[in-house]
């Protein structure tokens, strides 16, 4: 017993010291780790060792800085000019666009157009047709790339493009696309001449566990064709039926097809990942920006564990603070930090209509519990909450005042905030924002309204459960 108590104290003391030495850890996260380590020291120690740090290692951080330094030096004209934000963006929303530009140097560029895809079928048909029409190069990166109908059609289009001499570069995340990476379809792409790379590979899991953590992933979804077309949104390269989690299907996604200089920014973000994974130099790529007459201003925002901590929640909070009339937000995973939570409540308190849309049935029971632990606070502040019933709502959207939209891969959870590489496009345009807002309204029409009285009437055991799970939310 004495020996076990000694071991207990050593584990708790050692990990507590490490937690206290981490300047980038929030007080709620420290408290959550203290609770876990004191209640379950052996299990908690193992969990902290595997998942407690959010660092890819010194080599990856150094390489990331080198790559973006190279891109900023050689492609500064393509990343936009900070001064253009004041010229292109309404003064009410400039703080958000300026903040987005501070994250990784992509500033507002004018002359962009976008089309909202009607559904998954149109998205795939248009994307495959664009690849089939490619003449120079195709770049794709997906977190989840399955060997189902959608994933196979995209792979076959890349094979056809490579066989006719188009330079094709394809990346997939080492965890999210692990089945495809080991498949015959992946081998066929390689044999056809498609250049392949794995983002954050798991070929040496022991080294990954010792130097980083296994769940730091590349969650981006990027497709670029000939430097003229890019797709951005929430959709992976997978069918809506999403066979790996079929019981939650259909996965309801949203995708936009962009043209204009923002395409080049998205391509630069892709190339930063490609260069990290392959070592290929920036000199290999020829890029140009092509403005569209009468187009709108937009910019790319990429985040990840090698960018500064807290960038994404601070961007969301800044956007919400800019809202004058309404904020509508949809996300499948709502585990906000205090920055975002308080911004939403503050907006509602000052009279902004805040509409939140979440899935009614979530594929993560942990996220579902944590999300609902915030309902009372949000509803009491005046926010509206709707729970979508038509499958798993996977669309990540934010619209402000009928003018501003943010769309991409980022969820409102700590995984997107701290652990995943994400890509988003922030834009100012009434027509595009109206189209996205109409799609959001269609989600609301297929949702149940959550009323404050209903939440106040939840049984005690459910409230206790949600709040217990939320206590460890800062480390999820």
Beta strands in 117-254, from DSSP E residues, in sequence order: 137-142, 167-173, 195-199, 221-225, 229-233, 251-252
Active site residue: 221, 337, 386, 413, which one? 221
Active site residue: 64, 253, 396, 413, which one? 396
Active site residue: 137, 139, 173, 226, which one? 226
The DSSP line for 281-305 is -GGG--------TTPEEEEEEEE-T
Q: What are phi and psi of 292, to 5 degrees?
A: -105, 135
Active site residue: 64, 139, 386, 394, which one? 394
Beta strands in 71-166, from DSSP E residues, in sequence order: 109-116, 137-142
Euclidean distance between CA atoms 385 and 357, whole angstroms: 6
Q: Note if 190 is an active site residue.
A: no
Q: Note if 394 is an active site residue.
A: yes
Q: Say if residues 358 and 392 touch (Cβ distance below 8 Å).
A: no
Active site residue: 253, 303, 337, 401, which one? 401
Count of alpha carbons within 13 angstroms of residue 111, beta-carbon side: 15
Active site residue: 219, 273, 363, 429, which one? 219
248-251 — which CB contacts under 8 Å span 24+ positions?
248/361, 248/362, 248/363, 248/391, 248/392, 249/391, 249/392, 250/120, 250/390, 250/391, 250/392, 251/391, 251/392, 251/394
Euclidean distance between CA atoms 166 and 152, whole angstroms: 19
Euclidean distance between CA atoms 358 and 393, whole angstroms: 7
Q: Note if 149 is an active site residue.
A: no
Q: Note if 84 is an active site residue.
A: no
Q: Note if 139 is an active site residue.
A: no
So which residues are the catalytic ones?
219, 221, 226, 394, 396, 401
């Amino acid at each position: 017993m004495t020996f076990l108590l000694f071991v207990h104290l050593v584990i708790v003391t050692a990990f507590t010291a490490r937690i206290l030495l981490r300047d980038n850890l929030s007080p709620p996260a420290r408290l959550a780790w203290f609770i876990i380590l004191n209640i379950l020291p052996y299990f908690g120690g193992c969990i902290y060792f595997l998942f407690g740090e959010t660092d890819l290692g010194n080599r990856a951080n150094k390489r990331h800085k080198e790559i973006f330094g190279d891109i900023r030096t050689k492609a500064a004209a393509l990343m936009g000019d900070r001064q253009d934000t004041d010229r292109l963006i309404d003064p009410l929303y400039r703080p958000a666009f300026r903040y987005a530009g501070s994250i990784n140097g992509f500033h507002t560029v004018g002359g962009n157009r976008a089309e909202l895809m009607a559904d998954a079928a149109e998205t795939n048909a248009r994307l495959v047709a664009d690849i089939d029409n490619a003449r120079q190069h195709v770049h794709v990166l997906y977190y989840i790339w399955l060997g189902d109908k959608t994933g196979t059609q995209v792979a076959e289009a890349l094979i056809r493009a490579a066989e006719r001499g188009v330079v094709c570069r394809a990346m997939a995340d080492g965890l999210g696309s692990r089945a495809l990476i080991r498949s015959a379809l992946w081998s066929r792409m390689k044999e056809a001449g498609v250049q392949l790379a794995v983002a954050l590979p798991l070929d040496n899991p022991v080294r990954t566990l010792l130097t980083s953590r296994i769940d730091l992933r590349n969650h981006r979804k990027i497709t670029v064709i000939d430097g003229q077309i890019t797709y951005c949104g929430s959709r992976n390269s997978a069918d809506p039926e999403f066979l790996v989690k079929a019981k939650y299907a259909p996965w309801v996604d949203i995708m936009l097809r962009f043209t204009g200089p923002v395409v080049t920014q998205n391509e630069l973000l892709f190339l930063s990942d490609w260069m990290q994974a392959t070592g290929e130099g920036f000199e290999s790529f020829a890029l140009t920006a092509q403005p569209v007459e009468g187009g709108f201003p937009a910019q790319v925002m990429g985040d990840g564990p090698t960018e500064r901590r807290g960038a994404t929640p601070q961007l969301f909070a800044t956007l919400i603070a800019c809202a004058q009339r309404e904020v509508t937000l949809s996300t499948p995973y709502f585990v906000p930090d205090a920055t975002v939570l308080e911004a939403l409540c503050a907006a509602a308190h000052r009279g902004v209509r805040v509409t939140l849309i979440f899935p009614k049935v979530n594929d993560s029971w942990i996220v579902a519990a944590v999300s609902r632990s915030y309902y009372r606070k949000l509803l009491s502040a005046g926010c509206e909450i709707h729970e979508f019933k038509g499958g798993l709502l996977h669309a990540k959207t934010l619209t402000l005042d009928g003018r501003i939209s943010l769309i991409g891969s980022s969820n409102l959870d700590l995984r997107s905030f701290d652990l995943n590489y994400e890509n988003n496009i922030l834009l100012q345009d009434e027509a595009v924002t109206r189209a996205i807002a109409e799609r959001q309204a269609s989600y609301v029409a297929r949702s149940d309204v959550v009323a404050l009285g209903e939440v106040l009437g939840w049984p005690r055991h459910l409230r206790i459960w949600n709040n217990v799970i939320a206590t460890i939310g800062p480390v999820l």
